[in-house]
Structures are given as C-alpha cells and as structure tokens.
Structure 1
Amino acid sequence: MNDISKDIIEAELISGISLCINDFNYDKKEVLIINANNIALLNFISTFNINVHYVGSLDNISSNINTYSRAIELKTSKFDVIVDLDNKTTTQYASLLKSNGILIINLDDLNINKIKESNFNVKMPFKIEGKFYLFLSNRFHPLADFSSQKVDLISDFKYYNEGIHRAVFALPNYQKQALRGVIRN
C-alpha cells in the first residue's frame, strides 16, 4: 500500500471541506489562498472550475492560478472561500468574504478565546494530521450542509471521502464539553 504525503492529505481535506457543501456551485466561485506553503493544495483546488487566487511566493504552481505577491494587489474584492494557513485571527477577513462564504484558518490549539473571537455563526474546529483548523461561516455548516454526492463525483480524491470528512470534525467528549456554547456542532 502506498503512503500519501501529509501535504496531499491536507490539500484534499481543505479542498473537500470547503467545496463539498450543498448549494455550493463551482461555477464562477472565487477562492483565495493565503500563507499556504502547500503546493499540493494550490494545484489540487485549481483543478475545479473555480477562480483561484494565491497570495504568496511558491514556484511551480498551476498556470490557471492568479498569483499575487501581496494581498493589496488582489483584483477580486469578495471571495466565496478563503483559506489562510498561517493566520490565527479572522478579523481582517470580514471585508473580503462574501456573506455566505467559508473561511478556514489554522489554530495552534483549541484555545476557546481564539474560537470565541471569531465573529461567525458557524465555528467548527477540525484536525488534520495533528494540526488544528477552524471552519467558519455565517451560512454553511460543514456537517449539516455536506454533500456526499459531490464527493462521489470528484474522482481525483486519493484520501478524502465522506467518512474522513465527518471524522475530522469529531472531538473527544472533554473537548466538546469545554467548547460547549462556543462552537456549533
């Protein structure tokens, strides 16, 4: 059996979690990826029929990705999905995210105060390969609005599937108890 790299696992999970949502049509969607040193994420998410914008300096990324060295250069003003893998705050994204958009950031740990300060209706932490992330949206819930049919239609997934999607959002009882009233699960 072949092992799959952590970068591919992260790429597929973040792509699947943000794109396999009911009512999320890929046509004319705008996705912004910031602070991602995972070239697999950029190349994988760009295979969908969406507009991908990347702020960073990675080389060898797909030619259909709009690349910017600084966020100030962005030509699109509102995004359906924003993924920032090196920022622990959500305050600067209110003006960039569409009202029904999805924001995914990383977390150092499950710090209740960091999660509380996120001004979103839906706040769901998840864990990939020992790293914590936070799914945020004012409209979509990553489990209740999940579309298994969309996962089945994407043949490029080597790792991600419906069971994995649901499993990454599972928390031990002591963590669920500590986060009660802070997250929506």
Structure 2
Amino acid sequence: MRDFIYAEMMVHVPICTSKEAKNILIISDNADKLSAEAARHNESNFKVISCNLNEVSSLADGSYDVVISEMPSEGALFSQINRVLKVDGQFVTTHPSLDDVDRNKSIMVALANYFKIIMPYNIGDGTTALFCSKEYHPTADINLQRADMIDGLSYYNCDIHPAAFAMGNYIRKEYLGIIKN
C-alpha cells in the first residue's frame, strides 16, 4: 500500500482537530515521514524524539498540543503523554488490529484515565489508529480551513478526515462503552 497514506493520516488528523497545533511531539524510531508531514503546517514547531520513556519523562509538563506515537501502547507511556500534553491536547497512537478485542479494550480503558474522547479511525492503508483528545472531537471540531490549506497532499483532505471515523456495526457493538465519543 502507499506509505504516504499512513503518514498523512497519522499527522493531519490530530493537527487539524487541534484548535492551535503549535507544538507537536513525534515519538518514533523512524520519524522522517511523520516529521515531513508535520512540517507542512507552517504554524507548527515540532520536536522529534525516538521513544524512550526516560526521554519523554524529561519533557516539560503541558508543553505539546499534539503527540503522535508509533511506539507500543502502554500505561507508563500514557501517563507521561498525558503530563506533556496541554489541557486541550490530542494524542494519536498505533495499536493492535481492532480484531484483537481484548488487547484493544485494555489499551482504551487505560487511555480513558486521561482522555475524554477515544476513537479508532481508519488510516486508509487497512489499519487503524487511536485518536485520543482531552477536549476536541475529531469530527465536530475539525478545522476545515487548516485541513483544506495543506499543500501537496496525496490522500488526506477535509472529506477523508470525518469519514475515517466511520466504523461498522460489529466494531461499534464490540467496543460499546469502551470507545468514548
């Protein structure tokens, strides 16, 4: 599948949901493509670190609008991400396939300690990511002007953004009470 789809969806969904995404933290061992996508947002300053809980734990409290993580989802990382996010911040992370129900429910229950909104969304390459927000809803609070003004995109746009959150009934039923929207 086309790898630009993954990078565009991981980066632009949270940034275009954020009221003002000026500080973006990308936690990845190979963040080049994600960093390039974040750089499309001229108003953003972003810092790229490779994930190591010690490095995340040394970051200042409440300093990031958006955190994007490709690292394994775990409770210790979630508490650090919650700490470095601003009070209205967004967090996007990779996670196991939605077919791995028990593992995902465990992850979503842990995230519920920190976020009002937790929703899986389709990346467009056959996988999903988890969108977590302390304040803004990804389909109700999309910044349409920001979403439409990004130059040079191959996949993401303001129509793809809300459509990515559409899930089949079997997903809705399986995760009823776990997905927070």
User: Quick check: TM above 0.5?
Assistant: yes
Distance 1:31 1:41 in 2: 11
Output one character per residue of 1:101-136: Cα deviation in whole Å (capped at 9) or x when no partner.
Answer: 001111112322211211211001112212221111
Q: What is residue 54 of structure 1 aligned with on the other side?
A: 48
Amino acid at match of 1:80: D
Once the two structures are overlaid, the 10-residue window that deviates more, 105-114 or 115-124, is 105-114
TM-score computed with the length of structure 2 as normaliser:
0.81
| Percent identity (aligned) | 29
Q: Residue 107 of structure 1 is aligned with which of 91, 95, 108?
A: 95
Match of 2:80 in 1: 92
Q: Deviations over 1:44-73 (max 9, x none)?
A: 20232211111129xxxxxxxxxxx94466
Partner of 1:82, secondary structure, is: strand
| Greater Cα offset, 95-104 or 111-120 | 111-120
Show structure 1 runs of 5+ residues with no match: 58-68
Q: 2:168 aligns with which of 148, 172, 179?
A: 172
Give yes or no for contact 2:26–2:34 (8 Å, CA) kept in 1. no
Could you tell me which amino acid in structure 2 is paired with residue 121 of structure 1? K
Please say which of residues 122-131 and 34-43 is displaced more in the overlay.
34-43
69-78 or 34-43, which moves further after superposition?
69-78
Question: How far off is 1:30 after superposition?
Answer: 0.9
1:129-176 deviation digits (Å, cap 9, x = unpaired): 122211111101111111222222222222111222122211110111
Is 1:31 the counterpart of 2:28 in the alignment?
A: no
TM-score (norm 1): 0.79
RMSD of aligned alpha carbons:
2.3
Shift of 1:21: 2.3
Within a 5 Å distance, the mapping from 1:114-129 to structure 2 comes to 114-118=107-111, 119=113, 120-128=115-123, 129=125
Secondary structure of the residue aligned to 1:155 is: coil
Instruction: Report the counterpart of residue 66 of structure 2 in structure 1.
Output: 81
> Over residues 8-41 of structure 1, what are the superposed CA-to-partner deviations in whole Å (9 max), with x where a residue is unaligned?
112211222111126x234xx1110011524221
- For the structure 1 residues 104 and 115, does the alpha-carbon distance in structure 2 shift closer, same or farther, using more than 3 Å as the test? same
Q: 1:77 to 1:112 in 2, by over 3 A?
A: closer
- Is 2:2 the partner of 1:5? yes
How far residue 92 of structure 1 moved from its aligned partner, in angstroms, is 2.4
In the other structure, the counterpart of 2:101 is: none
Tell me by how many angstroms 1:99 deviates. 0.9
* Matched pairs, number: 167
Which residue of structure 1 lines up, in the alignment, with residue 130 of structure 2?
Answer: 134
Highest Rg: 1 or 2?
A: 1
Q: Distance in 1 between matches of 2:85 and 2:20?
A: 16
**CA distance 1:165–1:171, shift in 2 (3 Å):** same
In proportion to residue count, which structure has more helix? 2
